[in-house]
Amino acid sequence: MFTDEQVDAAVRALSDPERFAGAERLLSAAAPQLQRILGDALSEGGWFGEAHAQHVRAAAREPDEAARAERIEALIADETRMGMLIGVAVGWELARELERPIDDSEPSGGT
């Protein structure tokens, strides 16, 4: 695993705007597949299930305009945080998969 210092140094390194240019180019082709994986993970985690739909409907029906906006903003913030956390987990697993040696005896996953 990584030390706190290693993680802090890596997070600081990510603040360089050029850092993501290459990654964005590489991932643009994989984006639809990654979006599907993220969507599946959010769905399996219950984030887009009936409970979520009930919260959305309740927020939309809020009679007070300010309270309605507040509830909707809170839902969006929660969804964003959860999406980011799951996205990071997917990214970590993708990195681990990319670091694994290629074994020609295993199926390629449909590519």
Q: What is the pLDDT of residue 3?
A: 92
* Phi, psi dihedrals of residue 97, rounded to the nearest 5°: -65, -40
d(CA 15, CA 65): 38
* Phi, psi dihedrals of residue 26, rounded to the nearest 5°: -65, -40
What's the whole-model pTM score?
A: 0.61
pLDDT by position in tens, the chain (length 111): 889 999 888 888 888 778 777 777 777 888 888 888 888 888 887 777 888 889 999 999 999 999 999 999 999 999 899 889 888 888 888 888 888 887 755 555 544
Structure tokens that stand for 86 in this block: 């799951």
Q: What is the pLDDT of residue 71?
A: 96
d(CA 56, CA 74): 10
